[in-house]
Amino acid sequence: MRKLSLRRVLGLALAIVMAGSLAVSCIFEYETQFDQLEELVKELPEGDAVISVTPTDDGGYVINFKESGEVKIRKGAPGNSIIKVEKDPDAFIFYVANGWHMRLPRYYETCVLTFEDKDYKGPANTVTYWSSKIDEPQYGGPILYGDGCVWADENNTNLVGSVLPYDAATWSGGFSGGGIAISNYGNGMLAGADYTRQLEVYNPALDGAGRKGCGNNGSDNFAILYDAGFWGSNLAAIYMPDGKPCVVESVFVNNTCYTMNFLVNGDAYNPPMAENGYYYVTATGFVGDEISGNLNFLLASYDEYVTYWAKLDLAELGAVDKIVFTVYGSADLYGEYGFNAPAYVALDDITVRVYPE
């Protein structure tokens, strides 16, 4: 039987896809698997990417593409066979026995953790999931200074964060021990902003307090991280599900009223931030116990403060299973017992790459 040319086979396959077929299968018949991969890369439609790679019983591979459907790479001649396939956040990597390797782009989707009730996709309490985790009052309430809170963006980004239960006997845990809490509190007034207003994001559009529209792009809900530093019992961190590394592309950050008031006006024990002072947050990516990288974002200097939701790009951290947020500042913000400034940062709209396979 006469074989169709490669271009003819792919042309027919793509025509079937465009016609609405649910399954497409074309077979690459070149002599070596490396040759087959090379030709496959040449023929890919622009922007197409691999969803999954499955070995077959006869020594070949079925590669499932987002646009082109399934393509089979048959078993190659000895010395030029694929010996293993690995994947990273950007590609499936095919290693060939002759020492060559080839990368095929990996397909992913982006999902956003908005902290809005309408966007929650978990199995239960979908109507008020995020709002039910907002404490009242902001300080001393039953969630952040009682039972604690573990939240999870199930069936979406799947990110997890927490505030530990509070132990009144030892004054430990709770939000004073660090973590990430859910909030919808905002305020345009700095006067009087102290620890009792720890969940308020600064919103200059407000004349006073508000509970609506204070998140990024006018959304209602967001999160507040607190870095308790050396004295903390819980990291201000987001975790990947099951410790499975993925790429977090970005997060929007903003200042809180409590932090801004301290930096601008000082308090009974501390002067305002010095003329050469600064305040920033560091995002540190981890894979297991290994650090993948650090990214810094300046939130305040002596004459300039972030008073809006600003985007912090995180993709440079690579695929991570945890991101820890740590707050730092200039020397004038430290005292005998450590960091004096309130180490709070508001977070919203965390974008994550999700792989469908």
Specify whether the CB–CB gap between 90 and 80 falls below 8 A.
no
Q: Are 57 and 20 in contact (CB under 8 A)?
A: no
Residues, the chain: 357
Q: Nearest to residue 119, comparing CAs of 222, 238, 203, 210? A: 222
- Say whether pLDDT at 171 is over 70: yes
Q: Which of 133, 155, 153 is nearest to 144 (CA)?
A: 133
pLDDT 10s digits, 173-222: 999 999 999 999 999 999 999 999 999 999 999 999 999 999 999 999 99
**pLDDT at residue 124 greater than cutoff 60:** yes
pLDDT digits (tens, 9 = 90+) for 266-282: 999 999 999 999 999 99
pLDDT above 60 for 10: no
Closest C-alpha to 108, from 147, 63, 52: 52
Residue 196 DSSP symbol: G
Mean pLDDT confidence for 49-69: 92
Output the pLDDT for position 53. 95
Q: What percentage of the chain exceeds 70 in pLDDT?
A: 90
Three-state DSSP state, 11: helix
Average pLDDT over residues 14-29: 44
- Compute the average pLDDT of residues 109-116: 97
Domains, the chain, in order of start with CATH, read 6-107 (no CATH), 110-354 (2.60.120.1350)
State the chain's mean pLDDT as an integer: 89
pLDDT band at 14 (very low <50, low <70, confident <90, very high): very low
- The more confidently predicted of residues 170 and 186 is 186
With CA atoms as reference, report the closest residue to 349 among 183, 154, 215. Answer: 215
Please, which pLDDT band fits residue 98 given cuts at 50, 70 and 90? confident
The Cα–Cα gap between 274 and 260 comes to 14
Q: Is 198 helix (H, G, I), strand (E, B) or coil?
A: coil
Residue 193 is encoded by which pair of tokens?
């902003």
Q: Look at residue 298 and tell me whether its pLDDT is greater than 70.
A: yes
Q: Do residues 260 and 190 make contact, with C-beta atoms less than 8 angstroms apart?
A: yes
- DSSP one-letter string for 116-169: -GGG--SSS-TTTTTGGGB-SSSSS-TIIIII-EEEE-TTTT--EEEEPPEETT
pLDDT band at 2 (very low <50, low <70, confident <90, very high): very low
Average pLDDT over every residue of 34-49? 85
